[in-house]
Structure 1
Amino acid sequence: FALFRDQLANGATIAILAAIESLLSCVVADSMISSHHRANDELVAQGIGNIASVLFGGIPATGAIARTAANVKAGGRTPIAGMVHALVLVAVLAFLMPYAALIPMPAIAAILLHVAYNMCGWRNFAHLCQTASKGAVATLLLTFALTIVFDLVIAIAAGMLITMVLFMKMVSEETEVKGWKYYGDENSEVTHLRELPKSVRVYEINGPMFFGMTERIADISVKDFTRYLIIRMRGVPSLDATGMNALENLYEYCSAHGVSLIFSHVNEQPMKTMRRAGFVDLVGEEHFRTSIDDAIAHARDLLREGAPAATE
């Protein structure tokens, strides 16, 4: 068990790298023949094969991108092509190994360059550099450089990390917080704009609320005459812990200025997050309304009743 425990981390690392390498080989083959591989079947078969190879003193093996591309270029389209490839390798190892050692290295290098040229897709590369966004081009060039300097696994990991960062940046830029001066009847086909009550301010948030847009929540302000601040969240599909913290800070800001918060049309996932954080109880269940019309009507009723606004 001590040996198993010591080697578990190494085995997990090898398994992950082998899976990534094999799936990348599948992706390369798919792009060359316009096919779609079965990832689960590929990984299960690879796992069984590597376990069986240990019984004969073998080491873990993966799908090889260069040999896969060469196989496809030679006309391979079915699993039989891979089986023939394996049998040819066995024959070379068994009978032709002394002769294989005599092949000049420049000849092998030329073969590898030819294979690399056939699988590189340079036309697509040039097209992407001309048409893609600056962030996508930067990711492409960095991944390309890392593939040459290090290896494909490191390059793909770095490319995915940069892509995730760029995606979060794009989502945060698309998320908007805007204030209202007028509103219309949501249930009417004809919109008649009406001015908001002077003591009521409305802000609408569109987009997911996560750490990338907390500064926009912090920019929400109230004026001296504001008594009720309505936050419309119909366009907010998700809310994370950082977004929840931004709403809590907004609540404290409003309380310090004697302003009550009212929320309109909070979707299911944000509502669950608010309940788990105790935010609904803090603000008050009655201040969560199903529509903007209902929220404004609720604020009007509170104004007519003379209800005191929130205080710290």
Structure 2
Amino acid sequence: MLALHRFQPRLIQALRGYSRGQLIADLGAGLTVGIVALPLAMAFAIASGLKPEQGIFTAVIAGFLISALGGSNVQIGGPAGAFIVIVYGIQAQYGLANLLIATMLAGVLLFVLGLLRLGALVRYIPVGVVIGFTNGIAVLIGLSQLKDLLGLRIEKMPADFFAQIAALWSHLHTVNLAALALGLGSLALVVVWPKSYRMPSPPHGLLEKVKRHAAQVPGTVIALALATLTARVLGLEVETIGSRFGGIPQSLPGFDLPSFDWAGVKQLLMPTLTIALLGAIESLLCARVADNMSDLPRHDPNQELMAQGVANFVAPLFGGMPATGTIARTSTNVRSGARTPVAGMVHALTLLAVVLVAAPLAVHVPLAALAGILLFVAWNMGEWHEFARLRQFKLPYRAVVLGSFVLTVVFDLTVAVEAGLLMACGFFILRMGNLFRIEPMPLPEPLPGVQVMQAYGALFFGAVGKLESLPEQMAPGTRVLVLEMHRLVSLDSTGVDTLKQLARTLRRRGIALVLADPNEQPLSLLKRAGLEEILGAECIVATLGEALGLARRTVEGRPAPGRTAMAEA
């Protein structure tokens, strides 16, 4: 019977013996992350073709649920940069209602994956595939922000890569220099703003103390505030959240069940799989990064997937977008001293409080400033140094990384992951096939008419060609071939069938086949496949010495072992 994973959020364990010191640490970390998350949540939603409040409500609802129900002490969930390209494409092709339904279906799928204890499967995705599609998504995010950064008058950006380039090129004459200045200024400020986790501790001198105090306020918030103030004071004609969306509602999100059309839902298989796949990969990779940053208990991948599932099912009921674990906010949470999931719940409540109090101020935020911030996010998201390191690796790894990267940019994530996995599997099969060898084995005393070969590696469908050519390598006068199998670590059904055919071919040439010293897995499969009946039970022996004794008796004139059985076969 299939064992299901027990639903047990990490919060329950963390609250046992919860102390006042932990509460203070979690409150401080939650408030910090909440401030960091505010501009990012709006920016991710706008870049995805949605309203800014949809990103904020996702960060509030999904962020609270992921922390309360997840399997990590410090994971912060919410809208993520990795989803920008995916959500924009789905929304453009299928519409907002179907995007919400696909997100809910992905939530169900994520929950089932965790329930069936399949969280560890995500770790089997090769690192080359992850690097390739991550860098590809980063390129697409950067490309999608050029419209707002340059202030171009494009009514709606297409979702296709080449169509985006064409649209940008054809509207370059509409560039808004004021928007460009605000965007580049915001980008520069976020880049140079001091990071508290990079500073010496304790600070030395007045300048270091000032930097440490300044670093308590996220650079993204400072950039948005200065850009908004500059645009208002100078009266710059740039597009803002208010001019495009009419502002952000100063209220709680309302419950709204998306319209369900079964004929339309049947077309959402690929969007659902894409959201679920990316959500699972991002959240579990983020949780692993968090594990390496702290001394807290390691995350439970299955519980984490179940929490992601609940969050992605519930958030769309309030107009939310797909959510997952976010590395930048989780890292900030850890570095701010978070100890339990309470910090993530505080982060969500902080965002909610900001919306209820300060939502009217968002109408003046320039979209060019958000674009500058997202360019910084995209740059940090990509692992560009991996491209420089490709020259250190062989062709298979280069092909997987570059292939996944190009396919993500030109087509989409699902195609990139599928093709990347196929390439990785193909190269693995080729490599394992090359590792399999059959070589002559020297004997202390030559035995006339006996040839001994030694098998190395795994005999599987990708390596049987080397076994099929073995009869042509037999020296004239050979009566017995001993195949020493001690270093054969694995055997599959194709390998067994090839051994059967080898035995028949050798028997027609008057040569007996003896298998010596097979390991447990190959021996078990040989017996279950009926090779004993074909060769004769006496032709599968435990040691090389037994095999040589049997071969010597055969050469001396006794009937070849297994002859009757072979003839009947």
1:37-186 map, 5 Å? 37-53=299-315, 56=317, 61-63=322-324, 65=326, 68-73=327-332, 75=335, 78=338, 79-91=341-353, 100=362, 102-126=364-388, 128-180=389-441, 182-183=442-443
* 1:278 correspondence with 2:530: yes
3-state SS, counterpart of residue 177 of structure 1: strand
Identical-pair percentage:
29
SS at match of 1:226: coil
User: Which whole-Å CA distance do the structure 2 matches of 1:166 and 1:100 have between them?
Assistant: 51
| DSSP-derived class of the 1:234 partner | coil
1:45 to partner: Cα distance: 1.7
In structure 2, distance between residues paired with 1:149 and 1:96: 40
Q: Find the counterpart in structure 2 of residue 219 from structure 1.
A: 469
- Pick which of 204-213 and 83-92 moved more: 83-92
Shift of 1:9: 9.9
User: How far is 1:305 from its partner?
Assistant: 4.6
Considering Cα pairs closer than 8 Å and 6+ residues apart, tell me whether 1 or 2 has the greater RCO.
2
Per-residue CA deviations over 1:230-271 (Å, capped at 9, x if unaligned) read 111111121112111211211121121111110001112112
215-224 or 10-19: bigger deviation: 10-19
**What TM-score do the two structures reach when normalised by structure 1?**
0.79
Alignment equivalent of 1:194, drawn from 445, 448, 458: 445
Q: 1:187 — aligned with what?
A: none
Task: Report deviation, 1:288.
Answer: 0.7
Structure 1 residue 31 displacement after superposition: 4.1
- Return the alpha-carbon distance in structure 1 between the equivalents of residues 437 and 315 of structure 2: 56
Do the aligned partners of residues 122 and 33 (structure 1) sit closer, same or farther apart at CA in structure 2, a change above 3 Å counting?
farther
The 2-side partners of 1:156 and 1:77 are apart by 35
Residue of structure 1 equivalent to 2:453: 203
| 8 A contact 1:199–1:225 mirrored in 2 | yes
Report the CA distance shift for 1:251/1:13 in structure 2 as closer, same or farther (over 3 A): farther
**TM-score normalised by structure 2 residue count:** 0.46
Gaps of 5+ in 2: 1-260
Distance in structure 2 (CA, Å) of the matches to 1:281 and 1:267: 19
- What one-letter code is carried by the residue in structure 1 that aligns with 2:378? A
Following TM superposition, by how much is the alpha carbon of 1:37 offset from its aligned partner in structure 2, in angstroms?
3.9
Instruction: Using the TM superposition, give the Cα deviation of residue 135 of structure 1 relative to its aligned residue in structure 2, in angstroms.
Output: 1.7
Paired residues of 1:205 and 1:232 also in contact (CA < 8 A): yes
CA contact (8 A) 2:286 2:330 kept: no
The aligned runs of 1:220-299 (5 Å cut-off) are 220-221=470-471, 222-299=474-551
Distance 1:143 1:77 in 2: 36
SS in 2 for 1:198: coil
In 2, Cα distance between equivalents of 1:42 and 1:32: 13
> Structure 1 residues 14-23 or 201-210, which shifts more?
14-23
Structure 1: distance between partners of 2:409 and 2:271? 22
Q: CA RMSD in A?
A: 3.4
Give the Cα separation in 2 of the matches to 1:291 and 1:166.
35
Amino acid at match of 1:103: V
CA contact (8 A) 2:291 2:299 kept: no
The farther-off stretch of 148-157 and 292-301 is: 148-157
Q: Following TM superposition, by how much is the alpha carbon of 1:296 offset from its aligned partner in structure 2, in angstroms?
A: 0.7
CA distance in 2, matches of 1:49, 1:206: 50
Q: Which moved more, 1:41-50 or 1:279-288?
A: 41-50
